[in-house]
Amino acid sequence: MPDYVAIGHLTIDRSPDGDHLGGTVLYAALAAARAGAHAAILTRANLTDLSPALRAELDAFASEVEIVAQGSSGTTTFTNREAAGRRSQSLHAWAGEIDLSGLPPQWRSAPAIHIAPVAQEIDSRQLARLSPQIMGCTPQGWMRAWDRERFGTIRATPLRLPPDVVARIDIMVISSEESVPARDVLEMVGRSGLAVVTRADQGVRLIDRGRRVDLESYSVKVLDTTGAGDVFAGALIAERAERQPVVASARYATAAAALKVTGRGINAVPGREAVEQLIEHARGRI
């Protein structure tokens, strides 16, 4: 049984320097794996028809993360653009809905399951089939809408989840930009579990069973912010599955995300030794 299972679409992200593999599940699962967890992914994608370059990327981390991929005619594909600190997205292909009944039986009760939709690929009503010790969630994919026939520009929508689904979520992580349309759900999770708002260089805000705690960010040179929030979420959920205290887990996750932004792509997801060195270095300056 894996220690940590991420469920969501593995994606192709288009950028000026070419196509790269992405998706919350990829960055988050690698963060968990490099923190020391046995990490796994359930996704839906067409991995058979990946280009040689993307296949090489996949092969590079295949030994670190176990992947179960449900078949599809295509792989969810995004173009992300950032201007004036705000990101816009376009969708070019969608792999379809993930069937949670396809999760290997022993994975359904893993210590941590991370629900990580990026494009409405998970039916929240299916979460009742899962029984992890910790249910984590990054709900951004439930807050996106697009023209289902022509794809194109993605528009933001409010987060709406049934109360019985919200009650199953132990940890929710969301960005400050997304926190406003998700406020009601975020507050509900924060009353009984842990809700986290990531705020880039302003640090993170924790709502831990109603108690609010702010943690500062780590001062680093930013090269690429892609995947930073996903790395934070994966590291946080994995640390909490190991029964680490809330603040210590969030501090580790904050440092992991900080190191991620100093490099590009999945290769910049840091390991435990580098994360702990950053934490100790920062502590030594206080």
Tokens linked to 198 = 């990531």
User: 31-42, pLDDT tens digit by residue?
Assistant: 999 999 999 999
Residue 286 has pLDDT above 50, yes or no: no
pLDDT at 168 over 90: yes
Q: What percent of the chain has pLDDT over 90?
A: 90
- Which phi and psi (to 5°) does residue 110 adopt? -60, 155
pTM: 0.96
**Counts for the chain of helices (H) and strands (E), in that order:** 8, 15
Q: What is the overall mean pLDDT for the chain?
A: 95
pLDDT tens per residue across span 3-45: 999 999 999 999 888 899 999 999 999 999 999 999 999 999 9
SS3 of the chain: helix, strand, coil, percent, to 5: 35, 30, 35
Residue type, 117: P
Distance of alpha carbon 123 from alpha carbon 31, whole angstroms: 25
Average pLDDT over residues 63-75: 96
Whole-number pLDDT of residue 285: 62
Cα separation, 115 vs 112, in Å, equals 10
> Nearest 5°: CA angle at 39, between 38 and 41?
150
What is 4-285's CATH number? 3.40.1190.20
92 pLDDT exceeds 50? yes
Q: Where are the domains of the chain?
A: 4-285
Instruction: Say if residues 251 and 215 touch (Cβ distance below 8 Å).
Output: yes
- Checking if the pLDDT of 143 tops 60, the result is yes
Instruction: Please state, as a whole number, how many other Cβ atoms lie within 10 Å of the Cβ of residue 229.
Output: 25
